[in-house]
Each structure stands twice: as structure tokens, then as C-alpha cells.
């Protein structure tokens, strides 16, 4: 039995959960999210608790049991509290500015990169003298937030010799010694 799938989900105050035509919709103070659910997984909404049941013990159904429970729990957490990610730009001359939902990045290339951020994601850039620039992203949609943050990071991944690049705040970069070590 899936340990994740068995756990019930508590619905906090101010969050409404509804189910129709194989789709679970969650509404809260930060927004609205919906997720299609496989017909093999049955969603039971009773009062302020959600439980999920699977049709059989097949490997596919066991995997989806935990998956959909986690997705629904993430949607409830997102519309009630939201999610945040912070990216740090490490490198000489690396800068980040924003005008509305357009993120302007200077990452050591011959040109600046203009990155269009989706409307569901809130964007903020912080540039203090003597510190690395930070890009702050927040949203109620965990999947979209992770995708946007990963795309920004992929524009200049941290390299292992000097550690330059775009990284998550607090991310550990494994360093290499370089030529002098040999």
C-alpha cells in the first residue's frame, strides 16, 4: 500500500475543493488550480478531509495513487500559502532587472537575455552593492514555478571550477580543483 497515497489531506479554512468529470478543482485566497485525475483513482471529499482510493493493486495504479495525492496536497498548499523560489546570479558583471513580467538578465554573453515570465508567477529582483543579484519568484502553482525557475537556471548553469552561473539560493555546487591539482 502506498504510504503517501493512504495519508488523508486536510482542507484548511478558506479553501474550496470540488470534483467534476474526472477533474479536481481547488480554490483559495491566492488563486484557482485544477488537475485531471486518472479514472483508476477515486477521490473522496468528506467535510474537511480528502482521501484517495485506487481500483487495483497493479503497479501503475499504486504509482498513481501516491502521485495524485501529492498533486492535490500541493494544490491545496499553493492556493492557501503559495510557493517561493530564489535564484542567485554568481559572476562578475552578472545582473538581473525586471520591467513588469520581463526579466532582463546579463549573464556574460554578448547580449542580454530577455525572459518572459508567465502571469501566474510574481517576479522581483534584488541587487545590493557588494552582493550577488537575486531573482525572487513566487506563485500558487508549484509545477509552473519549478519549471520557470529551472528554465532561468538553464540559461547559465553553475560551472564546477569557479562556481559562476545561476543557482538556487542555498544550493551546493560541487567544486573541482582544476589544472593546479594535477
47-104 tens-digit pLDDT: 899 999 998 989 999 999 999 999 999 999 999 999 999 999 999 999 999 999 999 9
Q: Looking at the 3D structure of the chain, how many domains does it have? A: 2
Query: pLDDT digits over 7-49, tens only?
Result: 999 999 999 999 998 899 999 999 999 999 999 999 999 989 9
Looking at the fold, whether 51 and 117 belong to one and the same domain comes out as: no
- Shared domain for 31 and 92, answered yes or no, is no
Residue with cell 593546479: 180
In the β-sheet with 95-99, what is the strand arrangement from edge to edge?
95-99, 102-106, 113-116
Distance CA 33, CA 72 (A): 9
- How is residue 160 annotated by DSSP? T
C-alpha–C-alpha distance, residues 33 and 109, integer Å:
37
* Dihedral pair phi/psi, residue 79, rounded to 5°: -75, -15
Q: How many beta carbons lie within 10 A of that of residue 167, not counting itself?
A: 20
Total-model pTM: 0.89
Range(s) of the domain holding residue 147: 83-169
Pair 38, 90 in one domain:
no
Q: Are residues 76 and 9 in the same domain?
A: yes
Cβ-based burial of 5 (10 A; exposed 0-12, middle 13-18, buried ≥19) = buried
Give domain status of residue 28, yes or no: yes
Do 101 and 113 fall into the same domain? Answer: yes
User: What are the C-alpha distances in Å from 132 to residues 67, 90, 100, 102, 147?
Assistant: 37, 6, 21, 20, 23
Please report which confidence band the pLDDT of residue 109 belongs to, taking 50, 70 and 90 as the band edges. Answer: very high
DSSP class of residue 47?
T
Amino acid at each position: 500500500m502506498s504510504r503517501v497515497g493512504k495519508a488523508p489531506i486536510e482542507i484548511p479554512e478558506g479553501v474550496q475543493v470540488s470534483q467534476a468529470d474526472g477533474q479536481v478543482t481547488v480554490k483559495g485566497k491566492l488563486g484557482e488550480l485544477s488537475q485531471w485525475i486518472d479514472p483508476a483513482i477515486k477521490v473522496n471529499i468528506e467535510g474537511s478531509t480528502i482521501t484517495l482510493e485506487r481500483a487495483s493493486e497493479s503497479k501503475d495504479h499504486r504509482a498513481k495513487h501516491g502521485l495524485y495525492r501529492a498533486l492535490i496536497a500541493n494544490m491545496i498548499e499553493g492556493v492557501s500559502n503559495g510557493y517561493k523560489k530564489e535564484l542567485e546570479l554568481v559572476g562578475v558583471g552578472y545582473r538581473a532587472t525586471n520591467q513588469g513580467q520581463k526579466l532582463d538578465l546579463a549573464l556574460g554573453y554578448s547580449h542580454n537575455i530577455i525572459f518572459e515570465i508567465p502571469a501566474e508567477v510574481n517576479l522581483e529582483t534584488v541587487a545590493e552593492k557588494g552582493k550577488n543579484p537575486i531573482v525572487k519568484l513566487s506563485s500558487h502553482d508549484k509545477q509552473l514555478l519549478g519549471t520557470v525557475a529551472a528554465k532561468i537556471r538553464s540559461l547559465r548553469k553553475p560551472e564546477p571550477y569557479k562556481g559562476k552561473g545561476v543557482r538556487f539560493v542555498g544550493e551546493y555546487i560541487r567544486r573541482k580543483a582544476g589544472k593546479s591539482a594535477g
